[in-house]
Structure 1
Amino acid sequence: MLVLAVAVDAAASAGRIHPGVRVDGVAVGGKTVDEAAAAISRGATQVLGRTVVLKAGGEEWSITAQEVGGSVDATGLAQAAYRIGRSRNPLQAVKERLAAWFGAERLPLRVKLDDNAVSALFDAIDGSVGKPAKDSTVEVVGTSVRLVPAQDGTGIDRDRARRAIAEALASDERAVELALVPIPPAIQDEQAQVAYEAAKKAVSAPLTVRYEKSSWTLDPATIAEWLAFRASESSGSADPMLECYLASEEVSRTLTPIVGSVGKVAKDASFKVSNGVVTIVPSEDGLALDADAFSKSALAALTGDGERVVDLPMRRVEPEITTEKAKAMGIKERISTYTTDYSPSNKPRVNNIHLLADALDGTLVPPGGVFSFNETIGPRTAEKGYQEANAIVNGKLVPQLGGGVCQVGTTIFNTVFFSGLPVVERHNHSLYISHYPKGRDATVSWGGPDFKFRNDTQHWILIATSYTSSTITISLYGTDPGYEVSYTTSDFFDLRDYPIKEVPDPTLPVGTRVIEEKGVKGRSVIVTRTVKKNGAEVRKDTFKSVYRPAEEVVRVGTKVVSSSPSTSTTLGP
């Protein structure tokens, strides 16, 4: 009869979980695996939504399942429930089905936790109530070497705490007491002994460094600055050992100046321009201390039983821009050039123009790169040699460090204008300046307006500058993209009268007017540039310049003179 009942039960529950099976408090008997998974997921959501309180060292932390990445594999639990009563062992299958009939087959709700989230939680708890263990180490002060003993720490038992939190999240018991246990250091005193002995020996006497016919003697105090310590896995031992080594950075910092006479700085390949022709100045390899190799050989000499002498290892240093790289840049011809002139009498302004030209000269713009005037030049400061010269600030001509920068900005704008390259950013001056090309001036200011252009060619572009006492020339070199540039300039429009400011002058007779600063009318102008290649239009740019009126300042006489008939006189500057 029992066998018959089991057979009937098996037939009735085909494809479904055996009746009576539960997952925690969720009845899943009679359900398919998918139906059971959905029911388990709903039940788990309610359970996991509750708070668990952790207690350790007299402090408490309230957490939720979400904060520790708690999740339930509902499908896995449903599949486990489905396997109950379906064992390949017939007796075991019968036993499980009978147990299910009487409600004895109940699977626990297993909660999985996220490793990173749990570790972060445990770190926070240990940081609050625990005490970190301290590894044994070696302390070097001057040439004195001391072994610093290890110290035990305290912290929570992380494996037990993890299991307890997972169980609490799935149960009605929502409080977990976390026990603090001793935490041993990773490196005990005996594991630091070898490093301690090595450090003592390293600073026990000077070290001689040789290179060809030269030699240098380094005292123990210098050697002590190189010593550093780290944990390392020792062969044949599962425990980490403290290792004494020479820090390459410290070796390089202190040794390079001492042996600098035998080194050589690498020189990048550069470009030389003369009469519109560009040539490459070859690169030169450098010679520098191989700090890593020196550290290894020096440590062996310092801690061994042989002679405390080491040969200085040098390595070849390749420049960033080699001759081969320079050749591959495609800088072979002049693309465009432009010259503007200025008065040689204003010495501070001429000085600034020359400094700016020098700072620009040799600038390289990669394919697809954007050149920025301000980023390339940087702040114009007295430390760099800039002097005060007139510049337009808030619509007025006033002395300013770096005055003359707009002469250079206007020149490079026109160079780019006639190259056909895309102009990314350009600003006109606030006031009209007649000695610049009509509608083709460009103002720049640190922290303010900038001039930018994009290199849309497939090769690098070189910016080259030259100057005299009264002219500046800026040229672009690269591989000519074949752009054909034409442009039109409109008549001035939107003309606006300038305001007149009268300033009383007690030194001038009544009726006398002297123009101190000549006014300039406000105006607007549009320059349209068309760029073609092989007859097809590549781009059309519109550069609109709006200039505000420049105030005219007139000194008006207020001095009363003799009773002779007065006359009105206006004098120009």
Structure 2
Amino acid sequence: MTVRAGDLSSTFVPQDAGVAIDWEATVAGAGKQSANPITRLTSFFTTHEIEPASTIDEQVFAPQLDRIRTELSPAAVEAGVNLNGGTINVDPQPKNGQQVDATKLKDAVTSDWLKPGGVEVDAQVTEPTLGDKVVKSVQDGDAAKALSAPITVHGRDGVDGVIPVDRMAEVVSFVPDGDKFRTDVNADAARSILNEALGATETKKQNATISYAGGTKSITPSQDGVTIDWDKTLEGFSGRVLSSDQRTLDAVYTDEPATFTTDMAEKATFDEVVGEFSTGGFAEASGENIRRVAEIVNGAIVAPGDTFSLNGYTGPRGTAQGFVESGIILNGHADKAVGGGISQFATTLYNAAYFAGMEDVAHTPHSYYISRYPAGREATVYEGAIDLQFKNTSQYPVRIVTNFDGSNISVALMGVKAVNVESQNGGRWNYTAPQPMTLSGDTCTPSTGAQGFTTSDTRIIRDLSGNELSRETTTTVYDPSPIVTCK
């Protein structure tokens, strides 16, 4: 049987839908024999039609009725607008939906299901919120303005960055927002397109470098940098995109002079130990990683005012760079990972910078205390997450010199010594007890645990005449090392 509503139709098989003729009720509905003799006589020669009575199995009928209603009540199709190849594209096209009342549908199906022409039911038309009128406002408004002309950014040396009309779709999008479209302008995408040409007008700042290969001082010249200040360049950019004029602008540049110039390098001396520190007691695999990172960092120069980043300087520390799997601390217990042990180098470098009077920009102590390090004066690192950074606040450049002998790692900052540094430990307090932990797997290492505690360290910096320049106290809280049982 067919059920129609508006331009849509659905079908069902009465037998499968729990709909059937109630024969007893139908016969009963035929009425009784008339007492009128004429009516009785004519009944031998004529017939009259009666409506059949229906029986409904609600348990079977209900899901079929829901299906029919769903098929006859499609939601309105909301329009979509986008820019495609420099043209305005409407996809999907808006389309009316309709709604069929559930009660009226049931009444119609149960009463008319045997009609040869099928079942007819009324439907209420539902219009899309984002219909033709809203689409036209976008087409005639923001979309038309966005495609009115290319956007050109004038750079240095006669180089222009251009967002052509046929690439405007990468920058401008129209997002449904209630009863309208919201126009979004992606400044990052615009920057990427513009930088395809304007990137050539930028120069990366390069400080002078010094090497002592073969005992001879060799200088790689410095180079001043220049970069585009994209925040300033693209200030008010959305307004430009959605206007019919103001389609050209000038790139704003920032000059970045080298902080360690060729002239400074030629005059620089690295004859004095500004700060140094040594640690030992590491495992063989950790030692391999410490040796490798020491090779990479050895010879690095930190110019006055510059900040040294261990993660930034070494870059990735994976097997491709010569690092191996070794011990790390993971969630408070011992584990293994490629590059493990580099935290010992970080601690050694941190202390060398500490005694050189460098400014502590970023350092993170271990989660629990490791006895081979000075309490409250150590650092861990993790690629991409935890870094060690210090700033050279002196007026002289320093050169990081590393020495690895298989048992110890030493780091010295060489340059011109201008300060003396003293470290005062504040003792230990607020002890906390270790908790048991059961682990499994090949990397599990049993441990008897250790107490946690709080400690402090005070750094006192004095000039070479003994005058105090600064005094700073840092407090560190160590978690208890868990008692690990392996199963």
Superposition TM-score, scaled by structure 1 size: 0.40
Superposition TM-score, scaled by structure 2 size: 0.47
Q: Name which structure has the greater RCO, CA cutoff 8 Å, separation 6+.
A: 2
